[in-house]
């Protein structure tokens, strides 16, 4: 039986009960029943685990570090609504302990010689470039099947996600391992998805939320009279991202050529080795040997592993330029973002490209 939450709205409680049935009515294909069943069950378990953050903070029996961490999170939550003009609702004023390091594991899949992801469509979020699993073993099983089909596969753990305002999203225990500032950035990112979301355009949505996260964090630090984030760290992240995007461009050109399969595989492997070589040269020549990204770069590489870079970062410069155009006014910024989101996809991408190059 689902426990009621007096602090939550009636709609949230009703949707919590009806969600599995609604989900199945909106989807077709008996072969997908087990997959969508785990999605519905996982979401319901998360809803059942929620409790007010204020209750956890006030309970002397709870872990003092958890209580202190949550208390700081609520300062960021207030800042998000009052200063960043993000939704002012019960989301991230609730807490859920799920007892695992990630809330879901996303499985990214591409053909062997393509960077085009296998999209999956859902009634709420539209089409996205991955499949999510609430169980790591289920994600690994899906990945194994796809590899047997000759596909490139990558699995990534996710600390948090947004239900786009359909439910009051909680702070999840999986979000609590990165310190107060990291938790604040996650709240800003996920609330941005609630603020505006375009179906079937992952690059737009994630780049928008990433910009809000980055600019929101800058303003959050300034509001507490903290120094800006370490410039060297930010530059390293941006430089690595650019290396990956450059590799994606080289691979796209390669895959457009009519080469024999074995030659294509060899050239593909060479492109990944070039990425590693360029990274090491940059690490040793510009980063003073900082090895923070070594584990990622030295792990097995494939097309699918590069997907999140294009999805999460592609249009961040465009949104930064738009924010500058409106003088840093969040309300005007969101209004312009909504205009962009309402354009046909070809016009939207052209407008974003123009902004990024401005």
> In this predicted model, what pLDDT tens digit does every residue of 251-299 receive, in sequence order?
999 999 999 999 999 999 999 999 999 999 999 999 999 999 999 999 9
Is 50 exceeded by the pLDDT of residue 29?
no
Most confident listed range (66-70, 165-169, 201-205, 312-316): 66-70
DSSP-derived letter for residue 118 is -
**3-state DSSP helix/strand/coil percent for the chain, to nearest 5?**
60, 10, 30
Is residue 307 within 8 A of residue 129, CB to CB? The reply is yes
Q: For position 123, what pLDDT does the model report?
A: 65
**Separate counts of helices (H) and strands (E) for the chain:** 14, 8
Distance, CA of 73 to CA of 262 (rounded, Å): 52
Q: Are the C-beta atoms of 36 and 27 separated by less than 8 Å?
A: yes
Give the mean model confidence (pLDDT) for residues 76-98. 98
- 8 Å CB contact between 255 and 115: yes
Whole-angstrom Cα Rg for the chain: 21
- Reading phi first (left if > 0) and then psi (alpha if -120 to 50, else beta), residue 63 is in beta
Q: Please check whether residue 109 is in contact with residue 151, taking contact to mean a CB–CB distance below 8 angstroms.
A: yes
Which of 27-31, 170-174, 236-240, 273-277 comes out lowest in average pLDDT? 27-31
Residue 332's pLDDT band (boundaries 50, 70, 90)?
Answer: very high
pLDDT over 60 (residue 354): yes
As a whole number, mean pLDDT of residues 159-185 equals: 92
Q: What is the pTM of this model?
A: 0.85
pLDDT score at 121: 80
Q: Which residues contact 324 (CB under 8 A, 6 or more apart)?
A: none
pLDDT value for 104: 96
**pLDDT of res. 25:** 38
Enumerate the β-bridge partners of residue 106: 132, 156
pLDDT digits (tens, 9 = 90+) for 104-153: 999 999 999 999 999 888 766 778 888 999 999 999 999 999 999 999 99
């Amino acid at each position: 039986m689902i426990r009621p939450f007096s602090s939550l709205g009636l709609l949230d409680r009703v949707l919590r009960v009806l969600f599995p049935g609604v989900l199945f009515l909106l989807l077709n294909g008996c072969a997908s029943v087990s997959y969508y069943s785990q999605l519905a069950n996982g979401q319901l378990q998360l809803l059942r685990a929620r409790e007010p953050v204020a209750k956890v903070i006030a309970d002397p029996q709870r872990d003092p570090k958890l209580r202190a961490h949550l208390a700081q999170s609520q300062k960021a939550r207030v800042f998000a609504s009052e200063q960043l003009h993000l939704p002012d609702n019960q989301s991230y004023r609730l807490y859920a302990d799920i007892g695992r390091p990630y809330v879901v594991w996303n499985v990214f899949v591409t053909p062997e010689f393509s960077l085009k992801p296998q999209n999956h469509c859902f009634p709420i979020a539209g089409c996205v470039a991955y499949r999510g699993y609430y169980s790591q073993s289920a994600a690994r099983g899906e990945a194994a099947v796809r590899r047997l089909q000759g596909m490139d596969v990558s699995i990534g753990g996710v600390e948090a996600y947004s239900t786009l305002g359909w439910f009051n999203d909680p702070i999840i225990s999986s979000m609590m391992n990165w310190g107060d500032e990291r938790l604040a950035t996650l709240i800003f990112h996920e609330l941005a998805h609630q603020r505006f979301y375009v179906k079937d355009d992952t690059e737009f949505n994630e780049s928008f939320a990433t910009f809000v996260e980055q600019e929101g964090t800058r303003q959050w630090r300034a509001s507490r009279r903290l120094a800006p984030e370490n410039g060297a760290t930010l530059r390293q992240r941006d430089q690595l991202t650019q290396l990956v995007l450059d590799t994606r461009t080289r691979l796209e050109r390669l895959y457009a050529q009519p080469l024999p399969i074995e030659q294509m595989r060899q050239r593909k492997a060479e492109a990944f080795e070039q990425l590693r070589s360029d990274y090491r040269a940059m690490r040793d020549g510009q980063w003073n040997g900082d090895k923070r990204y070594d584990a990622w770069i030295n792990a097995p590489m494939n097309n699918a592993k590069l997907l999140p870079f294009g999805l999460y970062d592609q249009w961040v410069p465009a949104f930064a330029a738009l924010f500058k155009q409106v003088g840093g006014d969040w309300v005007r910024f969101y209004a312009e973002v909504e205009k962009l989101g309402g354009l046909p996809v070809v016009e939207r991408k052209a407008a974003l490209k123009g902004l990024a190059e401005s």
